[in-house]
Amino acid sequence: MTTTQATVRRGRKFDQVLEGAREIFLRDGFEGASVDDIARAAGVSKATLYSYFPDKRLLFMEMASAQCQAQTDEAMLSIDMSGPPDRVLPQVGRRFLSFLLSEMGQRVFRICVAESDRFPELGRQFYQCGPRMLHNALTGYLHQSAERGELRVTDFELAADQFAELCKADLWAKLCFGIQTRFEDDETGRVVDGAVETFLARYGA
């Protein structure tokens, strides 16, 4: 059954199945994860699991989407987006890196990349539910800040992308090439502070 034909059905044990899926997918990867192990970790029968998710890809995408959504919601609730850029941008940058560099974020990203040739929808779903949502939120903030006269921005989409890339400086390359997988707060703080300083030097009013 293809992903386009299959549909997700919600029910009483839906969240239970997602939690079991998260445990197994992050432990074994997409290809290595077995439905038997997921059902066992979730404490449900295979029949129950299949009644909710008839396709393993659907289950993975729902799990990844839920994790990304939770991280994004938490970030947006914890940041006062009405504040000035020198206060808001450091918080946005730290939240962005907190998810990107987390064990969960790393594993979901690697699964999406590993399976991108066979299942490109996995990567698209991860992007839409994580990086894209943060991008949209940041773009909206930059518009508001510019209207208040705090920033001078003409291409808001580009500016949001530039800030995200500045926050990844050095760290992302080390992560992708396996040079370093854990980063201390002072390491990420140094990069974020530099990103904010550089961004405001370009776009600050």
Q: What is the pLDDT of residues 4-58, one digit of tens each?
A: 346 778 888 999 999 999 999 988 888 889 999 999 999 999 999 999 999 888 8
* Predicted local distance difference test score (pLDDT) of residue 4: 38
> pLDDT tens digits for 137-186?
899 999 999 999 999 999 999 999 999 999 999 999 999 888 998 899 99
Report the CATH number at residue 23. 1.10.10.60
Assess whether 195 and 126 both reside in one domain: yes
Q: Identify the CATH number of the domain in which residue 113 sits.
A: 1.10.357.10
Considering the domain architecture, whether residues 37 and 103 belong to the same structural domain is answered as no
User: Higher model confidence: residue 128 or residue 201?
Assistant: 201
Q: How many domains does the chain have?
A: 2
1 in any annotated domain: no
One domain, residues 43 and 137: no
Together in a domain, 176 and 144: yes
Q: Which token pair is 103?
A: 């064990």
Q: 136 pLDDT exceeds 60?
A: yes
With respect to residue 79, please indicate whether it lies within any of the assigned structural domains.
yes
In a domain, 112, yes or no: yes
Would residue 166 count as lying in a domain? yes
> Could you report the per-residue pLDDT of 71-94, keeping only the tens digit for each?
777 777 778 888 999 999 999 999
